[in-house]
Structure 1
Amino acid sequence: MSALNIPSCPPFISHCSLQPLAEAPDIHLMNARYDAAHFTESLFADLNIPAPAHLLRAVKKRRAEYLASRYCLQQTLATWGITGFLLSNGPDRAPVWPQGIIGSLSHTHQQVCALLTRRQDLVLGVDCEKMMTAEVARDTHKMLVSPAEKQRLEQCGLPFTTALTVAFSLKESLYKALYPQVKQFMDFSGAEIMAFSADLNHISLRLTQTFSARLVAGSLFSGRVLLQPDRVITWVTGPQ
């Protein structure tokens, strides 16, 4: 893992790393942690990140999240020779990446992740999630997975809360990867988990409905998982 050198930022941003994926070295995962307790409004000026108007009425947590994501992405892309970039969002709230870059962004509970590549023939989707509690898993599993999927998760050898969190996150990653092509909302029944191994090395998803001429029901995708003590990072990549 290659740690990024982020000057004068800690203790607000405690960690930021950039790592090529083992299965695809031309795709990189940015993984950053920040501490909202150390966030102050002056950091926007200190780090030269303008605060957009829509953040004026946002809660402190949202402002800290915005600053951390934009600054870490700016520093990451600077290592690729793209300096001063500030990520914005289009009318559909999808991130607008610099020319020549395909990316995907996610954040949760003081963590920011991004998947980035210069390849123009790929789709990317990344998601990070805090591990579900048993109560949340019990209350939400019927919305997130079908009975058949639930059975696969229960039989995979992992705690159900872990398996369900991974399944939820993988579906989010898949939908993020496909959104640039389909430009439409996909609910959790739009794809299903077909295989799920306890070592998390063999996970596949299948579309259950047709979204375009190329993204038809039955299309298969492979997912990857980075399991951490209290959260998960997942991603899905594939050809356009």
Structure 2
Amino acid sequence: TVRPDITNKKYITLEKLDSQECPKVETPQFSLSRHQVGADRLSNVYYMPNFLPSAYLYEVLLPWLQSIPSCPQPTLEDCSMNSSSALYWTTLRYSQRRVMMLQSPFPPLIEAVAQALFQSGVTWKDRNRCVENEGSTSSSNHPPNHVLINEYQPSMGILPHTDGPEYQDKTATVSLGGSDVILRFTKRLLTDEIGSSSLNQENRSLDKPILELVLGGNGSLVVFEKDAYTKHLHSIKDGIFTEKNCNRINQLDRNFLCFLE
């Protein structure tokens, strides 16, 4: 896989970003039926290998992300994340992974990706802005209003986890540059099973992945929802691997945009 060299690209400064209108990013149409993967093992997981255009990814978005400074404080609460003029990376103490958590309204370059998801058919139901329609209540579709931006070092993964009940049961993650990674789904232990001595053989193998998916580093999109979100843990396998076709996995720095509602 050929990836453009962005080391000599001129960074987009925050001052330029503040006065910049949200660009329009043309992306393919997303289809639940056409992009579903691993349906025989786990429902409601969808993958599109080339969602974000390479020109926008490598010439605009990644240079801007790399130009954002790190926050001197050690926790997310110490940083102001709500203004495009006060953007910071925060390094998590327990993992040495840099993150940014943003709420809408997003900075223009992130808003462009959120709108691209919406226009492509990746939408969320708004639980707070219901509309009345002939006596029944229905939720309107809209773009995501939260994004967690993660920066991973080579070989770095993330432990099995869920994104929590505060969000809707749907997440869309765009991979930005770097190497491919292995996304794993494993069964989530139910509340009444925690501490039980009568776990069956299936529950004794909770760390055995139900589905493993290789996420391409060049602007790929993975969406999972419903049972895949609520009843399963997701993780990124750490280490450096070589596929049968000699592609190297987890060998470069990489970023992820994880959109939620």
Structure (1 or 2) with the greater helix fraction = 1
Asked which structure has the greater CA Rg, the reply is 2
The two structures have a TM-score, normalised by structure 1, of 0.29
